Amino acid sequence: MNWRNDGTDDEDKIIYKVVVNPEEQYSIWPDHRENPLGWKDAGKSGSKKECLEFIEKTWTNMHPF
């Protein structure tokens, strides 16, 4: 069995959403799941790549407080 992640696994089929917490930290979460406690929708959903690109453009201060 090949365990190497070559980008063709089921992860590519998952729709994600971007979520943000009260400290304005961003993350992605499967769109079909309820948000983690304290996190709200940031207004973007799509592929993992699309969501990560959105975060890269939106999250201007990635340093922890």
> Structure pTM?
0.77
Please give the C-alpha separations between residue 15 and each of 10, 45, 47, 51, in angstroms, as whole numbers.
11, 7, 5, 9
Contact partners, residue 65, CB within 8 Å, separation at least 6: 23
Find the helix or strand (DSSP H, E) in which 43 lies. Answer: strand 40-46
Query: Is the model's pLDDT at 65 over the cut of 80?
Result: no
Going from the N-terminus, what domains does the chain have, and what CATH number goes with each? 10-58 (3.90.820.10)
pLDDT reported for residue 46: 98
Closest CA relative to residue 26, chosen from 49, 50, 51, 46: 51
Residue that wins the pLDDT comparison between 12 and 32? 32
The answer to whether 31 and 17 have CB atoms below 8 angstroms apart is: yes
